[in-house]
C-alpha cells in the first residue's frame, strides 16, 4: 500500500445520498464497505466528517443566529455523523473509536493525540468529531490539523467530483481536470480545494491532499494502492 496512515475527510452532505437532509443508511453502508477494503489491507485510518447534512453554523448566522452558537451546533452535528459512521463500520466487523474535541464522555473519548495514535497502531479506526472544538474553524481545517498531529501520510478528501478542475465541471462541460497540481498553482489559479486556513496548514506542513470521487466504488482502495485517481495537490 502506498500510504500507511491516512486521514479521510468526508462531507456531511455526502451522507445524505439522494435525500434532502439527514443520513442515508444505504450510503453509510457503502462508505463502510469502501473503508473496510483498505482497512483489511492494513492501512491505518482516521476520519473527519462534516455536519452540513444536519446543520451549518454559517447558514445559521446568515439567518440571524449568533455565529458562535451556530458553529457549536454544527460541531454537535459532526458528532452525530461520527456516531452513525461508527455504527456502520462496526457492523462490518471493524474496531473503532470516536474522539471528540468537545467533552461528551457518555458517547466518545476526549481527543488525546497520543491515545489516537495508539488506537491507529492497534488497527482501530479513529473518527474525530466536533471539529477543532472552536468556532470559526471548518471541518476541513480540523481534518488537516488532525492529519498533521497524527502524522498522516496524506489527506484524502472524498467529494462528489473526481478531482480539481479549472472551473466548475457541473456548470462548465469543457472544464479541464488536473491530475497533479502544486499548492502554489492552486493559489495562483484561485481554485477551491479547501478553505484557506486548512489549505495553508496543509501547505506549511507539506501534507499532500488527494481530492477524489468517494461515490465511485473502488476509488479509495485504488488511491491507497498507488493508482492516480482524482487530483493530487502537493509541493
Q: Which residues are annotated as a binding site for UMP?
A: 51, 71, 132-139
CB atoms within 10 A of CB 115: 14
**205: helix, coil or strand?**
coil
The binding site for ATP comprises 9-12, 52, 56, 159, 165, 168
161 CB burial (10 A radius; 0-12, 13-18, 19+): middle
The binding site comprises 9-12, 51-52, 56, 71, 132-139, 159, 165, 168
Q: How far apart are CA 12 and CA 142, in angstroms?
A: 14
Mark 6-43 as b/e (b = at least 16 C-beta within 10 Å): bbbbbbbebbbbeeeeebeeebbebbbebbbbbbeeeb
Q: How far apart are CA 218 and CA 210, in angstroms?
A: 15
CA 227 to chain centre: 20
Q: Cell numbers at residue 193, please?
A: 480545494
Amino acid at each position: 500500500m502506498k500510504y500507511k496512515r491516512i486521514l479521510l475527510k468526508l462531507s456531511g452532505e455526502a451522507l445524505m445520498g439522494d435525500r434532502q437532509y439527514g443520513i442515508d443508511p444505504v450510503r453509510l453502508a457503502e462508505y463502510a464497505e469502501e473503508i473496510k477494503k483498505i482497512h483489511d489491507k492494513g492501512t491505518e485510518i482516521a476520519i473527519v466528517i462534516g455536519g452540513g447534512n444536519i446543520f451549518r453554523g454559517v447558514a445559521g448566522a446568515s439567518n440571524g443566529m449568533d455565529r458562535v452558537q451556530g458553529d457549536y451546533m454544527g460541531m454537535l452535528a459532526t458528532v452525530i455523523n461520527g456516531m452513525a459512521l461508527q455504527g456502520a463500520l462496526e457492523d462490518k466487523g471493524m474496531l473503532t473509536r470516536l474522539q471528540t474535541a468537545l467533552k461528551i464522555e457518555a458517547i466518545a473519548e476526549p481527543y488525546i493525540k497520543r491515545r489516537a495514535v495508539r488506537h491507529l497502531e492497534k488497527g482501530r479506526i479513529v473518527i474525530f468529531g466536533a471539529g477543532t472544538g472552536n468556532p470559526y474553524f471548518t471541518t476541513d481545517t480540523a481534518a488537516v490539523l488532525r492529519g498533521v498531529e497524527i502524522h498522516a501520510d496524506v489527506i484524502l478528501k472524498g467529494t462528489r467530483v473526481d478531482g480539481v478542475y479549472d472551473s466548475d465541471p457541473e456548470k462548465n462541460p469543457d472544464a479541464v481536470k488536473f491530475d497533479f497540481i502544486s499548492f502554489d498553482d492552486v493559489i495562483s489559479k484561485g481554485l477551491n480545494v479547501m478553505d484557506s486556513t486548512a489549505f495553508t496548514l496543509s501547505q506549511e506542513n507539506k501534507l499532500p491532499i488527494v481530492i477524489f470521487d468517494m461515490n465511485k466504488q473502488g476509488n479509495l482502495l485504488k488511491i491507497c494502492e498507488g493508482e492516480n485517481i482524482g487530483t493530487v495537490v502537493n509541493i
